[in-house]
Structure 1
Amino acid sequence: MKFIKDSFIVNDYVKLAIVDKRITPTMEKNLRARGIDLIKTIGCKNSYDAIKFHPDISIFKLNDENIVVSPDVYDYYNDKLKKYNFNVIKGNLPIESKYPNNIQYNVCLFGKYAIHNFDYTDKNILKYIKENNLTMINVNQGYTKCSVCIVDENSIITSDEGIYKEVIKHNIDCLLISKGNIDLFNMNYGFIGGCSGLISHKELAFYGNIKLHPDYDKIYDFVKSKNKEIISLSDEKLLDLGSLIPIMY
């Protein structure tokens, strides 16, 4: 296997990904049937239950072998990832229970863009963004990656109007969909970014059945226009398990 070069963007078939440990047996089976091995998360002890196992809450893949991890779960991921020769970087602050002290790693990075509420971004991630001259798009929504489904280097899907209004200023092709219709354990609803992830250069996977979403036709047409196929990993309603993080081909 080889390192995936960029955060969330893939150009081949994914062979290793990080997923929420609560992934259903059907979803896991369908990912493994595509040759994808899985590293399951450990919970952030101080986070609230709905998101404590979400990969994008405590982990951020910078590039190649470099991954930033919240210090409260650092030992677990360092142990899991060192056999693949990843450089696991200890983040600046642990995940806490209350917003905004649980958003520091939930950055949306794709292509030349980084979207987040940069008042709270982990220092290691912020340094990387600035050193690589990425276009910084500041938004109020701190759960940025949860809120954004990345389709390609210049295309995203979101239900967050604030994110939508900011990204279109940068000529990012963004599909705005309706809020809700995604489960998130004991919360009112989840988000499109948290129930999705690219699993190959031509496949965008969803945790659940995307056809059950009321905006399915719009989502299908948008993804198809980017020369990608939609994969539903189960027949249930969409479930926000935190972004699938692809890390190796």
Structure 2
Amino acid sequence: MLKESPFIPNAKADALIIAGNADEEIINNLKKFNIEIIPTVKCSDVYDEIAFHPDVVIHPINRHTLVVAPNVYEYYEEIFKNKPIKLIKGEKKLNRNYPDDIAYNVARTARYAIHNLEYMDEKLKYYLQKEGVQFINANQGYSKCSTAIIDDNAIITSDPSIYRTCLELDIDILYIESGFIKLPGFDYGFIGGATGAISNNEILFTGKYDNHPNSKDINIFLNKYGKKAIIISNKKIIDIGSIIPLEYN
């Protein structure tokens, strides 16, 4: 049975997939970690506000295998052709309106794939089954956007559907207030889209979250799992569609 989340590296990640339109300050700060930065390409078939978001078009089956939406597959095929990462072309072509843009936006802990299962890409579902992942249905289609993966079985979310669902599972979950995270074009963004692990004990945050009413709870939760918050921008925390870590070994 799978015991590790692909969103948490074993050690330091070899590369990070990040929104191609991420703020220059974020990119420059990430480069200081001497790590490969892989920018996304725009997926013109979905809303402009999420068109560069990694978690809209990519789901890591494991740390070395990615399922990619057919809309942008050729771009990533070229990027990864000489890297030890296996790419699988998804079946579902993404389109503008919900739920046609959520097929790959799946939250993952060590044992569970949390999503609105009716709309999950069928090829993604097939490969997750091969990994021994248990499927958990939630009403929230933007499951990964809504879920920060802190440890293999520890998450933070502001989504009530995901929270209620995970309470019944062996997942440690911190429930926070929604809002207080930027997402241009929308009222607010989500904690999952504003975070990503760069190592086994470091969680990246896209900006400052001091003004979030649950900031102290977040810090306590991170400390519980021996995680350090790495703030990669002096601006307010912003949803950029998750930061996806990759390992080449």
Q: Give the drift of 1:24.
A: 1.2
**Residue 50 of structure 1: SS of its match in structure 2?**
helix
Give yes or no for the alignment of 1:192 onto 2:197. Answer: no
Give the direction of change, closer, same or farther, for the CA distance of 1:212–1:22 in structure 2 (3 Å limit). Answer: farther
Displacement of 1:213? 2.0
Structure 2: gaps of 5 or more residues: none
* Count of residues in Structure 1 that have an aligned counterpart in Structure 2: 245
Alpha-carbon contact 1:6-1:62 (below 8 Å) kept? no
Residues in 1 aligned to 2:114 and 2:211: alpha-carbon distance in whole angstroms: 28
| Superposition deviation, residue 211 in structure 1 | 2.1
Distance 2:131 2:169 in 1: 18
* Residues 183-210 of structure 1, C-alpha deviations (whole Å, 9 max, x = no match): 1111111000000001111101111112
Does structure 1 residue 48 correspond to structure 2 residue 47?
A: yes
Q: Matched residues in 2 for 1:207 and 1:22: separation?
A: 13
Match of 1:228 in 2: 227
- SS at structure 2 position matched to 1:71: coil
Contact 1:175 1:222 in 2 (8 A): yes
Shift of 1:15: 2.1
Of all paired residues, the percent bearing the same amino acid is: 39
CA contact (8 A) 2:145 2:241 kept: yes
1:143-162, Cα deviation, whole Å (9 max, x unpaired)? 00000000001100000011
Q: TM-score scaled to structure 2, two decimals?
A: 0.95
Pick which of 82-91 and 96-105 moved more. 82-91
Answer whether contact 1:182 1:191 (CA < 8 A) is retained.
yes
Is the 1:158–1:164 contact (alpha carbons within 8 Å) kept by the matching residues of 2? yes
Summarize deviations over 1:55-110 as a string: whole Å, max 9, x none. 00001111243211111101101001112132211110111000000000001112
- 1:119 is paired with a residue of what secondary structure? helix
For the aligned residue pairs, the C-alpha RMSD in angstroms reads: 1.3
Q: Of Structure 1 and Structure 2, which has the larger fraction of its residues in helix? A: 1
Q: Distance in 2 between matches of 1:6 and 1:153?
A: 5
Q: TM-score, normalised by structure 1?
A: 0.95
**Distance in 2 (alpha carbons) for counterparts of 1:80 and 1:167:** 36
In the TM superposition, what are the counterparts of 1:150-169 in structure 2 within 5 Å? 150-169=149-168
Separation in structure 1 between the aligned mates of residue 86 and residue 131 of structure 2, nearest angstrom = 18
CA–CA separation in structure 2 for the residues paired with 1:40 and 1:24:
12
Mapping 1:84-103, distance limit 5 Å: 84-103=83-102
1:77 aligned counterpart, secondary structure: helix
- Which structure 1 segments of 5+ residues have no match? none
Give the aligned partner of residue 109 of structure 1: 108
